[in-house]
Structure 1
């Protein structure tokens, strides 16, 4: 997949992944990788930035498999931001698809 395409939708996919349930970092890497190929070096800086921008809150939860894990919880601001990104994505996708359809007539 084109790296620029990935970069453009990564935030939206991360926010959407946490919308229904809190997740920890590696769990998010696994979830996002179902859609686009990413690694921890891509996800963790994004999570830090989104947390600094108050789209996520974090908390620690004990793990039976080692040290406590940092979980990410979507804030009200994060929900609004996610909604805005999805609306922009849908509009963008609609315009591109219309353009491509018109060119293929």
Structure 2
């Protein structure tokens, strides 16, 4: 069974990873894949949307005769990440109360 992940949560994962360091698309996809099952065809539209919203910027860097496009979190993206984390913490606490209640009310 797989638990479906929302677009907002996927955005938060990407922003959290990019807060640690800049990544090019494939490497970023691999980092996200370590946590959830996601394909490159899912990730690139997410990256385009985050860039369009001002959460990310990009820059190109040569690698073995080709350019890699790197993604960098912006100040707007960092603010958005903080908002997603705030919402996630409240959501997680509510779920934990149900999942881990001991001898609760019926």
Q: TM-score, normalised by structure 1?
A: 0.89
**1:84-103 alignment, distance < 5 Å:** 84-102=83-101
**1:7-86 alignment, distance < 5 Å:** 7-64=7-64, 66-86=65-85
The count of residues paired between Structure 1 and Structure 2 equals: 103
1:50-82 Cα offsets, whole Å, 9 max, x none, are: 000000000000112x41011000000000000
Which one has a larger percent helix, Structure 1 or Structure 2?
A: 1
Residue 62 of structure 1 aligns to a residue whose secondary structure is: strand
User: Are 1:6 and 1:36, in contact at CA under 8 Å, matched by a contact in 2?
Assistant: no
Q: TM-score, normalised by structure 2?
A: 0.88
Q: Aligned Cα RMSD in Å?
A: 1.6
Gaps in structure 2 of 5+ consecutive residues = none
Runs of 4+ in 1 over 4 A off after TM superposition: none
